[in-house]
């Protein structure tokens, strides 16, 4: 069985463009499928902005940046995935959207050995796998934002994931993309978010109750616990809609109060105050 050198990513947002960047920087032929024609150019700009930031930080040269840009094709046509050997799904955290997408790419991708990997933060992989005719080739690969900087990926195999798929995916993520991998059982939230989300929700409840302002909570955790970022700023960075979606998935599976999304979080999402990507969350961004 040959190696993987043709990769597809569905989703051109922060996570999708980040996955595309690490794939292209590893020398892979990379296709990114945006949600529609209007999302193609913003996705391309997002990738270029990240590469320019890496250039300023000394993480790559101008020649390397230009080579990455050349390796990535942005499109709105799912049919461009037809010859891909590995497809990453990085669309919003909404189960029906993801299952519909997996059913579509299953029909489009012709390689009988192709791997379908979801970047979901919380949705059980087995539900996505069942939307395809090859559930043994569906796996979870949960990256962390910003993908080009953070070294970790969670690898999640469902009860239906084949051992060969698991092994090939781990070899690709570690050997080709240079990430470190931790394994997780196929349960909502996996390892990291099952620990992180209750912490973030607790911080939001503290603000909601009037016990402490967001700035106070964040200063306390940064200066008192040596966290690099306070929980409210981290929530803004992740996206409050994503936090709410993961919390809902965790609460649906475990029915534990610590996972229940606070009303303040839900109202902010309803109002479009999604954090840094929207220009306003617990903080305001330029």
Look up 142 and say whether it is catalytic.
yes
Residue 187's SS3 state is: coil
In the beta sheet, which residues pair with residue 50? none
What's the pLDDT score for residue 30? Answer: 98
The reply to whether the predicted model has a pTM over 0.75 is: yes
DSSP H helices in 188-281: 192-208, 214-225, 231-238, 240-254, 263-270
Q: What burial class does residue 227 get, using C-beta atoms within 10 Å of its C-beta: 0-12 exposed, 13-18 middle, 19+ buried? A: middle
Cis link prior to 146 (omega < 30° from 0)? Answer: yes
Q: How far apart are CA 247 and CA 243, in angstroms?
A: 6
Longest dimension (CA), the chain: 59
- Among candidate residues 12, 121, 158, 184, the one labeled active-site is 121
pLDDT at 190: 94
Q: How many residues does the chain have?
A: 286
Whether 21 is catalytic: no
pLDDT tens digit sequence for 82-113: 999 999 999 998 999 999 999 999 999 999 99
Mean pLDDT of 65-88: 96
CATH class for the domain made up of 6-184: alpha beta
From the candidates 39, 50, 122, 193, give the one annotated as an active-site residue. Answer: 193
What is the per-residue pLDDT across 18-54, written as a single tens digit (0 to 9) for each?
A: 999 999 999 999 999 999 999 999 999 999 999 999 9
Query: Is the pLDDT confidence value at 1 over 80?
Result: no
Q: How confident is the model at residue 145 (pLDDT cuts 50, 70, 90)?
A: confident
Per-residue model confidence (pLDDT) at position 59: 87
Query: What mean pLDDT do residues 236-259 have?
Result: 94
CATH class of the domain comprising 193-277: mainly alpha
Residues carrying CATH 1.10.1040.10, the chain? 193-277
**Which tokens go with 209?**
């109750």
Is a pLDDT exceeding 70 seen at residue 245?
yes
Quickly state the pLDDT bin for 130 (edges 50, 70, 90): very high
Q: Provide, rounded to the nearest whole percent, the portion of the chain with pLDDT above 90.
A: 95
Euclidean distance between CA atoms 109 and 81, whole angstroms: 6
- Out of 21, 89, 154, 170, the active site residue is 154
Residues in Cβ contact with 82 at an 8 Å cutoff, skipping those fewer than 6 apart: 108, 109, 110
Residue 249 has pLDDT above 80, yes or no: yes
Catalytic choice (17, 39, 142, 184): 142
pLDDT of 170 = 97
Residues of the chain with CATH 3.40.50.720: 6-184
Pair of tokens at residue 147: 């993908």
pLDDT reading at 243 higher than 90: yes
In the predicted model, what is the mean pLDDT of the chain? 96
pLDDT higher than 90, residue 2? no
Cα separation, 254 vs 251, in Å, equals 5
pLDDT tens-digit profile of 181-232? 999 999 999 999 999 999 999 999 999 999 999 999 999 999 999 999 999 9
Q: How much of the chain, in percent, has pLDDT values that exceed 70?
A: 99
| Cα 265 from Cα 139, distance rounded (Å) | 30
Q: What's the rounded Cα separation, in Å, for the pair 273 and 286?
A: 14
């Amino acid at each position: 069985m040959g190696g993987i050198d043709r990769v597809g990513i569905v989703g051109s947002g922060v996570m999708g463009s980040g996955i595309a960047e690490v794939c292209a920087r590893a020398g892979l032929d990379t296709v990114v499928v945006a949600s529609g024609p209007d999302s193609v150019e913003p996705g391309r700009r997002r990738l270029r902005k990240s590469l320019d930031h890496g250039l300023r930080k000394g993480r790559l040269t101008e020649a390397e940046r230009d080579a990455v840009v050349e390796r990535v094709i942005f499109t709105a046509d799912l049919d461009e995935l037809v010859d891909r050997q590995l497809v990453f799904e990085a669309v919003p955290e909404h189960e029906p959207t993801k299952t519909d997408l997996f059913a579509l790419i299953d029909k489009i991708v012709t390689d009988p050995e192709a791997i379908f990997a979801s970047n979901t933060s919380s949705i059980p992989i087995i539900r996505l796998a069942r939307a395809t005719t090859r559930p043994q080739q569906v796996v979870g690969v949960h990256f962390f934002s910003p993908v080009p900087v953070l070294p970790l990926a969670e690898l999640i195999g469902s009860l239906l994931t084949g051992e060969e798929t698991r092994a090939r995916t781990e070899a690709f993520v570690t050997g080709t993309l240079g990430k470190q991998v931790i394994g997780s059982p196929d349960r909502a939230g996996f390892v990291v978010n099952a620990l992180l989300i209750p912490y973030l929700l607790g911080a939001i409840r503290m603000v909601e109750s009037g016990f402490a302002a967001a700035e106070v909570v964040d200063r306390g955790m940064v200066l008192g616990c040596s966290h690099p970022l306070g929980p409210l700023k981290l929530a803004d960075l992740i996206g409050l809609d994503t936090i709410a979606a993961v919390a809902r998935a965790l609460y649906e599976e475990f029915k534990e109060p610590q996972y229940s999304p606070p009303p303040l979080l839900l109202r902010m999402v309803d109002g479009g105050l999604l954090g840094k990507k929207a220009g306003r969350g617990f903080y305001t961004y330029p």
